[in-house]
A = this chain, B = another copy of it.
Amino acid sequence: MPKIQFWYDFASNYSYLSAMRIEEEAAMEGIGVEWRPFLLGPIFAAQGWDTSPFKIYPAKGRHMIRDMERICADRGMSFRLPEPFPQNSLQAARLALIGEGEGWAPAFTRELFRLEFGEGASLADRQVLALALAAAGQDAEAQMQRTQAPEIKTRLRARNEEAQALGIFGAPTFITEGGELFWGDDRLEQALAWSLR
């Protein structure tokens, strides 16, 4: 069974679109998904950006919101941009990284994205993180404490270095087993088709 890596950041609205559909669409093609939470922040910083390009370039940001509204309406998904945007996704990424090793990252990720971009909930709210952990069958208090372990912090840094080394510059990004890189929710179908070549 071919596998595809799904690189995503909880601060990224377009990652929300992919997180909610990738498992199902990949399964229909007989492809497995490897969830790869990471942080765009350090990558944007290396490009000289201190926040999302949607904030830096207001016309681009206005289009992004309208684009999200249209796409979510087409797909029957709700959309509400959290305040502030982008959200700080550090704690969420650490939790997803823990879940990645234990098989609950997909359920946690989907629920957290749904709360954040479907309902506009804040990632700074521990209650929100706890709801997503509970949806993934996890003990929220225990998992949140684990995010402070040096080992988790080190793993997230290594993950981000890997992203940079792979040439990742935005999210979502899909990488096939042959190393072919696709950027953007609108390239998901193409990335899956490539995985079957």
Chain A 155-193 interface mask (CB, 8 Å, partner B; 1/0): 000000000000111100000000011111011001000
Please tell me if the beta carbons of B67 and A170 are within 8 angstroms of each other in the complex. Answer: no
Please tell me if the beta carbons of B186 and A60 are within 8 angstroms of each other in the complex. Answer: no
Chain A 48-88 interface mask (CB, 8 Å, partner B; 1/0): 00000000010110110011001000100000000000000
Please tell me if the beta carbons of B63 and A169 are within 8 angstroms of each other in the complex. Answer: yes
Interface size class of chain A, counting residues whose CB lies under 8 Å from the partner chain: 20 to 34
Please tell me if the beta carbons of A169 and B57 are within 8 angstroms of each other in the complex. Answer: yes
Chain B minimum-CB-distance residue to A164? B59
Chain B minimum-CB-distance residue to A187? B67
A47 at the interface (CB under 8 A from B): yes
Separation of A62 and B186 alpha carbons in the complex (Å): 18
Please tell me if the beta carbons of B186 and A66 are within 8 angstroms of each other in the complex. Answer: no
5 more contacts with CB within 8 A, not counting A59-B167, A60-B169, are A59-B169, A67-B182, A67-B183, A67-B187, A184-B186
Selected A-B contacts with CB under 8 Å, 10 pairs: A57-B169, A59-B167, A59-B168, A59-B169, A60-B169, A60-B170, A63-B167, A66-B180, A70-B190, A184-B186
Closest A-B pairs by Cβ, 7 of them: A59-B169, A186-B186, A59-B167, A60-B169, A63-B183, A47-B57, A62-B167
